[in-house]
Amino acid sequence: MNVKLIIFDIDGTLCHSRYIDDKCYIQAFKKGLDLDIKNTDWNSYKHVTDHFVTKQIILTETGNPPGKDLIEMIIDYYAEELKIQLDKDDTSFTAIPGVKRMFEYFYNNSDKYKTGIATGGFRKTAMYKLDKIGINFPEEHIYSSNNYDTKQEMIRELMYRNISNKINFDKVIYVGDREYDFQVAKELNIDFIGIDFKGNGKLRSLGIENVINNYDPIEKFLALI
Ligand SMILES: [Mg+2]
């Protein structure tokens, strides 16, 4: 039996919330530490994951590496802020069309497809966002930046864990929305599918061939895997 492992990013890939996300993240530092983040060009950080960027911001601003409690506090404020903003205006956060149906399809065909999540976000906010778009994803298949600095580590772990369960994959695919995601897949020597929800053509302009705007209809996605 041919089994495929499909691993998804969250932000920009399963849901879209960039503007509100940044705003809430920045606000969490303001609320928790009365701190204005000077460098909000996330791509300029060595690893673009929430956990790494948070550690780096606190280290740069205070001169001390943060303890677990401090990071937990920022996560809590960030999650709280997200909830406040989304309660105020739920149009600011959208599921990428077809997402729910796609996961239903994979669950119903779990002998052929295994799925996982590798997100640069925090576990708490990732769970909240998935819940918000109506996806009930098994927590043990969600890898977040809480425990890993890079997506490479998360994906390797997901592959390893599944392999140790004696599943041999004939294909592993990472689905993401940024050039960084493409680079991660390339480095791991796995396939990549780009999601260009806003249709700005950026991924295609980088020479990436497998790019779609959303998962509706699902056949469009299935044709690429
Ligand atoms: Mg993303």
205 membership: H or E segment, kind and range: helix 202-205
CA of 1 to the centre of ligand 1 (A): 31
What is the band of 217 on the pLDDT scale with cuts at 50, 70, 90? Answer: very high
164 — pLDDT class (breaks 50, 70, 90): low
CB 29 within 8 A of CB 81: no
Q: How far is the CA of 65 from the centre of ligand 1 (A)?
A: 26
CA of 111 from ligand 1 middle (Å) equals 27
Q: Do the strands 142-143 and 169-176 form a parallel or antiparallel pair, or are they unpaired?
A: unpaired
The tokens describing 131, both together, are 């819940």
Number of Cβ within 10 Å of residue 20's Cβ equals 17
What's the rounded Cα separation, in Å, for the pair 52 and 46?
A: 8
**Per-residue pLDDT band at 79 (split at 50, 70, 90):** very high
By CB neighbour count within 10 A (0-12 exposed, 13-18 middle, 19+ buried), where does 108 fall? exposed
Residue 50 has pLDDT above 70, yes or no: yes
> Which of these, 203, 200, 199, lies nearest to 175 by C-alpha position?
203
Residues with CB under 5 A from ligand 1 (ion): 9, 11-12, 177
* CA 15 to centroid of ligand 1, rounded, Å: 9
Residue 5, φ and ψ in degrees, nearest 5: -105, 120
pTM listed for this prediction? 0.92
Q: What is the pLDDT of residues 177-204, one digit of tens each?
A: 999 999 999 999 999 999 999 999 999 9
How is residue 161 written in tokens?
């864990």
Residue 84 has pLDDT above 80, yes or no: yes
